[in-house]
Structure 1
Amino acid sequence: MQVRLPSLNAIRAFEAVARHLSFKSAAAELHVTPSAISHQIRLLETELGVELFIRRANSISLTEAAERMLPQLTAGFDLIRRTVAPETISERERLLHVTMLPTFAARWFLPRMQRLHHQNPAFRISIDASAEVVDFQQSRFDCGIRNGCGNWPGLLADRLFGEHLTPVCSPRFLRERHNDFAARPMLHIQTRPGDWPVWLATAGLTKNSSNEDIWLSSRSLAIQGAIEGLGYALADPSFIADDLASGRLSSPYPKVHSASTGTYYLVYSEDSLRNHAFRQFRNWLLQESVAYTAQTINRREDGSLRRHPPPVPGVG
């Protein structure tokens, strides 16, 4: 005789609550009220004749019965998603909201967007170029590109690549001031105060702060400031290859690179892995990062990114 199954809505509610250990988070995921989730859980406990959660004043935990059920139910729902996603994925799920740093967006991501759409024609993406720290649980964003050490509490992070920085400036600025590097202004990034000290130590140089130094909110602004002749900016030559090739920027120390104090990461919550569009985006991004890293290493080794302006005293 076929066994009657409990309500599928109740099972879905249980799986979400058990995964989040939160009625509120489960309700947000399923787009219902917390009271509706509570009703479904009570219904399921009645149908099964067992308690599923140990309820405390400010938290819940799983009973032994719930711990046995959760892995199989999660796997079952994942199988359903993988089976029907290509045919029934909604427009909401196809639109991916991504926050990323302005420099990364302008100088790395946008030049590669055509390849993303070529591989995934139905894919749609909304980009917010900002350095603002985002709470993925409380915002519309599915993921972000951030620069740091890879440790964001409660989030998963995939390493993309690091930066190798060298000073750049406008050719006119270099012609006029190349013999007096130590006295000329530097363009600093407010969120990356360690970049210049690391590079100076790598180059074996010392340079005191100047009243002419400028602090800016992003590397994109620093690069543009260098183009405008405001001072020296630190940049990865791979990010400014077109500017170097066109002569908008020059590199006074083409052989001296320092590792950036941060690394680019794709940052996301575990829930994002359930989003078909995010999984497509993540796979593409990791593939592009591997190819970019290999290409950058080869270009640094063969010197194709190096430009040789008039010599600057102090560095060979």
Structure 2
Amino acid sequence: MRAPNNLNALRAFEAVARHLSYTAAAAELNVTPAAVGQLIRSLETYLDVELFHRSASGPSRLTLTDAARAALPDLQGGFDLLSNGVERIKASKSRIAFTLTVPPAFADKWLLWRVERFQRRHPYYDLRIDTSRHLTDFTAERIDVGIRYGAGVWPNLVATFLLRDEFFPVCSPALLRGRHALKTPADLRHHALIHDISMSDFGVFPTWRSWLLHAGCRDAVDTDRGLQLNDSALAIQTAVSGNGVALGRTTLVERDLAEGRLVKPFEAVQGCELAYYLVHRKESGQSAPVLAFKEWLLEEAGTR
């Protein structure tokens, strides 16, 4: 018995299995429904296995047989690997662009000054960075991979833990000198408090009130006063300028601390259950650029 064109036949089977329709599968494959039907019949004959139950009535005229349903995930995984291999071949001679969505403050304070290392390692990938503040729809907005801050669960996305922050006051070195130099948490009453309210919808997100309670200084400072900003990077920059004391987050202040623009006047730090996660759609998990970016990003996070 002559074998059918197995790759075309298997591709036709996978498309029909998703759509449960010869017509929809044909439109996707840019062939006629009759051609799809012929490929399915030739594959069934060659395998000597029925792949679909066919009926003339009911909400769907096609349903998968048990054998077809069991084989479909492996087949779809195989097509993903084939696509990944093709992308790698194409990348050797041409550039491949992929899109990353990331919170603007994280991009500004943590990612952008590191991303050159990714570009040196993978010169054929062009990274497009979207810093929209809203939660993007990965499918509608054609997003390949993202970094999100939260509890680690988002509908229809696979999340991989990246980084968790500690929270502590930060300020300009100038505030450690002078008449009201910051020596103890109680000295904060002499300085403007900078409030980052960008995550105020999350009750577990640390605030000045919660940090002072953690530091054992609950009643010495009025935490209702000060400057409220809904941009984390702007809150940090305001502290750099010397116009108050901000409640810093590890990932957002590490470079300013290392380069002396900010100092940490007190030792007490507060943890938080929220964290940064790398996220992507399940079907994008084996994409060559997503795999490459994920590997690099986890390495960067591990050496923070």
Into which bin does the TM-score normalised by the smaller protein fall? 0.7 to 0.9
In the TM superposition, residue 143 of structure 1 has moved relative to its aligned partner by 1.2
Query: Which residue does 2:295 correspond to in 1?
Result: 283
In the alignment, the residues of structure 1 paired with residue 58 and residue 216 of structure 2 have an alpha-carbon distance, to the nearest angstrom, of 59
- What is the letter of the counterpart of residue 278 of structure 1? V
In the alignment, the residues of structure 1 paired with residue 39 and residue 244 of structure 2 have an alpha-carbon distance, to the nearest angstrom, of 67
Query: Which residue does 2:229 correspond to in 1?
Result: 215
In the TM superposition, residue 154 of structure 1 has moved relative to its aligned partner by 1.5
In the alignment, the residues of structure 1 paired with residue 299 and residue 259 of structure 2 have an alpha-carbon distance, to the nearest angstrom, of 29
Q: What per-residue deviation string (whole Å, max 9, x for no partner) do you get for residues 6-36 of structure 1? A: 671x632542564xx5689xx8xx9x95696
TM (norm. structure 2) is: 0.76
Structure-2 change in CA distance of 1:78 and 1:35 (3 Å): closer
The 8 Å contact of residues 93 and 275 in structure 1, kept in 2 or not, is answered as no
Q: Give the aligned CA root-mean-square deviation in angstroms.
A: 3.6
Partner secondary structure for residue 77 of structure 1: helix
Alignment coverage as a number of residue pairs: 281
In the alignment, the residues of structure 2 paired with residue 70 and residue 12 of structure 1 have an alpha-carbon distance, to the nearest angstrom, of 11
The 8 Å contact of residues 13 and 37 in structure 1, kept in 2 or not, is answered as no
The 8 Å contact of residues 172 and 263 in structure 2, kept in 1 or not, is answered as yes
Structure-2 change in CA distance of 1:93 and 1:119 (3 Å): closer
Structure-2 change in CA distance of 1:34 and 1:87 (3 Å): closer
- What is the letter of the counterpart of residue 224 of structure 2? S
Query: Which residue does 1:110 correspond to in 2?
Result: 112
Equivalence map 1:133-148=2 (5 Å): 133-148=135-150
In the TM superposition, residue 250 of structure 1 has moved relative to its aligned partner by 2.7
In the alignment, the residues of structure 2 paired with residue 85 and residue 232 of structure 1 have an alpha-carbon distance, to the nearest angstrom, of 49
In the alignment, the residues of structure 1 paired with residue 78 and residue 272 of structure 2 have an alpha-carbon distance, to the nearest angstrom, of 44
Query: Which residue does 1:258 correspond to in 2?
Result: 270
Structure-2 change in CA distance of 1:271 and 1:209 (3 Å): same
Equivalence map 1:229-268=2 (5 Å): 229-237=242-250, 239-253=252-266, 255-268=267-280
Q: Work out which of the two has the higher radius of gyration on C-alpha atoms and give 1 or 2.
A: 2
Q: Percent identity?
A: 32
Query: Which residue does 1:187 correspond to in 2?
Result: 195
In the alignment, the residues of structure 1 paired with residue 166 and residue 54 of structure 2 have an alpha-carbon distance, to the nearest angstrom, of 51
In the alignment, the residues of structure 2 paired with residue 258 and residue 248 of structure 1 have an alpha-carbon distance, to the nearest angstrom, of 22
Partner secondary structure for residue 271 of structure 1: helix
Query: Which residue does 1:51 correspond to in 2?
Result: 52
- What is the letter of the counterpart of residue 189 of structure 1? I
Structure-2 change in CA distance of 1:160 and 1:16 (3 Å): farther
**Greater per-residue helix proportion:** 1
Q: What per-residue deviation string (whole Å, max 9, x for no partner) do you get for residues 224-268 of structure 1? A: 121233432122356434433554323221x11111342010011
In the TM superposition, residue 2 of structure 1 has moved relative to its aligned partner by 3.0
In the alignment, the residues of structure 1 paired with residue 115 and residue 82 of structure 2 have an alpha-carbon distance, to the nearest angstrom, of 30
